[in-house]
Amino acid sequence: MVDTQLRRRGIRDERVLRAMGEIPREEFVPAELRVMSYRDDPVPLGHGQTISQPYMTALMAQELELTGAETVLEVGAGSGYAAAVLGALARVVISIDIVPAMAQLARENLRRTARDANVTVLEGDGSLGCAGWAPFDAISVAAGAPDVPAALLDQLRDPGRMVIPVGPREDQELRVVRKAGGRVESRISTLCRFVPLRGGEGWS
Ligand code: SAH
């Protein structure tokens, strides 16, 4: 997976490549779908949700340019896999999911793989961020938003970076939003397709 799906497609951050080589993705995939663990595809998690394709998880982590010192917010814990990857790259990760069963699944998977030391999973509407832990050096949103939620932009530190899929329900662009010196800039990293972000600043 690391060589054929990530390195070959331009993932260059060695810390991301190492983390994804070390974290057992099969432990985050539903038992009956284990054969899909290292495929170049998203994997269904139930409740209409999916674990992103490995390349997308790697690209999002790479775009955040983490050094190991950051406090990171992930919106959309799902299986907990991306949270585990972010946990290997940053100091602290808060991952929030609006579906209680998903938060529970992420917590169990992170505990079983001993990746929970610096990763905390919360239940709640992450489209409103997580004010109690803000500001965040980096924010990764794992569900497609109609626009960049104002609360997330507010809770992003200066300097800070956010990756977020933005666009219509079915097709989005992965935006990399950078806050620095009081200014906010954004660029498009790639086209993508995520499940919809729900909640107050998501899709109703
Ligand atoms: N990062 C996950 C995949 C996330 S799938 C992984 O690696 O497995 C998207 C997740 O976003 C789903 O679990 C869904 O319940 C969650 N979600 C959707 N809207 C949300 C919101 N407003 N706040 C928090 N989580 C949300």
129 CA distance to ligand 1 centroid (A)?
13
pLDDT tens string 7-20: 999 999 999 999 99
Cβ 84 under 6 angstroms from ligand 1: no
- Threshold 0.95, pTM exceeds: yes
Note the pLDDT tens digit of each residue in 90-131.
999 999 999 999 999 999 999 999 999 999 999 999 999 999
pLDDT band for position 192 (cuts 50, 70, 90):
very high
The answer to whether the CB of 66 is under 6 A from ligand 1 is: no
Compute, in angstroms, the gap from residue 47 CA to the centroid of ligand 1: 11
Residue 11 inside a domain? The answer is yes
Give me the number of domains the chain comprises.
1
Looking at the CA of residue 106, tell me the nearest atom of ligand 1. Answer: 8
Range of the domain at 112: 2-192
Residue 147 covered by a domain: yes
Residues 158-177: what's their mean pLDDT? 97
Residues 64-88 have pLDDT tens digits of 999 999 999 999 999 999 999 999 9
Out of 102, 104, 169, give the residue to mutate to test ligand 1, the one with the largest number of ligand atoms within 8 Å of its CB: 102
| Within a domain: 57 | yes
Distance CA 29, CA 42 (A): 10
Q: Residue 204 falls within a domain, yes or no?
A: no
pLDDT value at position 103? 98
Does 105 map to a domain? yes
Residue 54 CB–ligand 1 contact under 6 Å? no
Residue 113 lies in a domain: yes
Average pLDDT, the chain: 97
Q: Which residues pair with 192 in a beta bridge?
A: 172
Long-range Cβ contact pairs of 87-92 (< 8 A, separation 24 or more): 87/115, 87/117, 87/118, 87/119, 88/15, 88/18, 88/19, 88/22, 88/23, 88/115, 89/15, 89/16, 89/19, 89/61, 89/64, 90/66, 90/118, 90/137, 90/138, 91/118, 92/118, 92/119, 92/120
Question: What CATH number does the domain containing 35 carry?
Answer: 3.40.50.150
Nearest atom of ligand 1 to the alpha carbon of 78: 13
Residue 204: per-residue pLDDT: 83
- Does residue 97 fall inside a structural domain? yes
